[in-house]
Amino acid sequence: MNYEYFIAKRIIGSKAYKSSISAPIIKIGIAAIAIGIVVMMIAIATGIGLQQKIRDKVVAFNGHVTITNYDSNNSQESLFPISKKQDFYPDFKSVEGVSHVQAVATKFGVIRTENDFEGAILKGVGQDYNWQYFKEFLIEGRLPSFEKKWSEEVLISQYLANRLGFKVNDNFQMVFAKDDPEKIPNIITFQVVGIYNSGFQDLDKQYILGNLRHIQRINKWEEDQIGNFEVFIEDYSNIQQKGIEIYQNTPSTFNTQTVTDKYASIFEWINIFDKNIYGIIGIMILVAGINMITALLVLILERTQMIGILKALGSNNWSIRKLFIYNASYLILLGLFWGNLLGLVLLFAQKYFKLFPLDPSVYYVTEAPVYISFGYIVALNIGTLVLCLLMLLVPSYIITKISPVKAIRFD
């Protein structure tokens, strides 16, 4: 029988233990573990959740990798057409891990109403467009359908709809200037069939999604000419490597750009979240460990006579240290249990009830997103338990300094 575990179990289950002088300190130690695990779970869940949400929003408007012509165009508008007749379109078979390729084009225009006007970019898309992301962003109406050759249906952002007073099924005119300012501009009447809100206001206020054929007609392009290709990959963590492979497998006249390079400032900002998460985890484990050290020291002092008796009966120092480490392990596991319970309740409440909103102009999301994965929760619990136990090995060394004769007489 493991007698150290047996004695520790008897101590934990005794009424005297629960009403002893050390009881309040033990409760504080358990609370510190619980609060620490809650804070760490929230930090990881919201940090990763925010990173993924912002990343997905940017990818929705640009794809993971953009393929364009080599030119001096730094604007958002497609100026020089490229042919859709490429070896990598519609299936990029030469690069493993590419999930989808779509052809798009953009054109700047001015939305004109009776009382107002607003500049925006018409993003022309075709039958190959992946609407996966915008299905999540859709808040009213439906997605556009381009079965008709000259379909005038568009998807507009809630930001633009609110500024211009548009509702689903409203019609509006959009004016597109020509290269020659003396020529009459192109005017197209569009119908709003859906309103989206990605929460990324910097992009929402720019883009309207409509029929690619209108941009081809305005620019006098052929039916197989488009502005650029957007490439989606299966695993975002490989974006840099896949960006290089895509570049190597496209013609020399084409340039490629990953979304992380195009929006470098945004991705550098969200990468800072990783450092914040590591910092919070380190501080919380340190605080929890210090509290448990304090609780263990109090337990040792409270059981000084018992330590002396066990030594007198022949127990070695490591055996007695194990007894108290078993005791401390129970307290840590108790703190972890309550911390996980409270943490999961808070995370699921935020996920389904959106209790904590955020300012989209600052965080690019309307509420604090959470990423819940039992993988990181298990790793967090095991890491906290192991690190706290390692920290307790040092204070438990005080047991080796206790003299059996003095300890038995200790009162």
Give the model confidence (pLDDT) of 327-370 as tens digits: 888 889 999 999 999 999 999 999 998 888 887 777 778 788 89
The label of the residue with tokens 């057409």 reads: 81
The mean pLDDT of the chain is: 87
- pLDDT the model gives residue 21: 66
Q: Tell me the average pLDDT across 182-188.
A: 84
At residue 322, the pLDDT reads 85
Q: To the nearest 10°, the Cα dihedral for 216, 222, 223, 225?
A: -80
> pLDDT tier at 75 (50, 70, 90 boundaries)?
low
State yes or no: pLDDT of 72 exceeds 60.
no
**What percent of the chain is modeled with pLDDT above 90?**
51
Query: pLDDT value at position 271?
Result: 87
Average pLDDT for 156-168? 93
Q: Dihedral, CA atoms, 10, 12, 16, 20, nearest 10 degrees?
A: 150
What span, in angstroms and rounded, lies between the C-alpha atoms of 389 and 323?
A: 13
275-291: average pLDDT: 89
Statement: residue 16 has pLDDT above 60: no
The count of other CB atoms within 10 Å of the CB of residue 256 is 21
- Mean pLDDT on 170-186: 84
Give the pTM. 0.82
C-alpha closest to that of 324 among 266, 263, 246, 400: 400
pLDDT of residue 74: 58
pLDDT digits (tens, 9 = 90+) for 22-65: 678 888 888 999 999 999 999 999 999 989 988 999 999 999 99
156: nearest Cα among 102, 109, 93: 109
Strands 254-258 and 98-112: unpaired
pLDDT of residue 17: 56
Is residue 313's pLDDT more than 90?
Answer: no
- 358-407 tens-digit pLDDT: 877 777 787 888 999 999 999 999 999 999 888 888 888 887 777 776 66
- CA neighbor of 9 nearest in space, from 317, 214, 17: 17
3-state secondary structure the chain: CCHHHHHHHHHHHCHHHHCCCCHHHHHHHHHHHHHHHHHHHHHHHHHHHHHHHHHHHHHHHHCCEEEEECCCCCCCCCCCCEECCCCCCCCCCCCCCEEEEEEEEEEEEEEECCCCEEEEEEEEECCCCCCHHHHHHEEEECCCCCCCCCCCEEEEEHHHHHHHCCCCCCEEEEEECCCCCCCCCEEEEEEEEEEECCCCHHHHCCEEEEEHHHHHHHCCCCCCEECEEEEEECCHHHHHHHHHHHHHCCCCCEEEEEHHHHCHHHHHHHHHHHHHHHHHHHHHHHHHHHHHHHHHHHHHHHCHHHHHHHHHCCCCHHHHHHHHHHHHHHHHHHHHHHHHHHHHHHHHHHHHHCCCECCHHHHCCCECCCCCCHHHHHHHHHHHHHHHHHHHHCHHHHHHHCCHHHHHHCC
Cα–Cα distance measured from residue 410 to residue 301, given in angstroms and rounded to the nearest whole number: 10
Q: Could you tell me how many residues make up the chain?
A: 411
Per-residue pLDDT at 370: 92
Q: Which residue has the higher pLDDT, 180 or 195?
A: 195
Digit-coded pLDDT (tens) for 115-157: 888 999 999 999 999 999 999 999 999 999 888 888 899 999 9
What number is the average pLDDT over the span 153-167? 93
For residue range 207-227, list pLDDT tens digits in order: 999 999 999 999 999 999 999
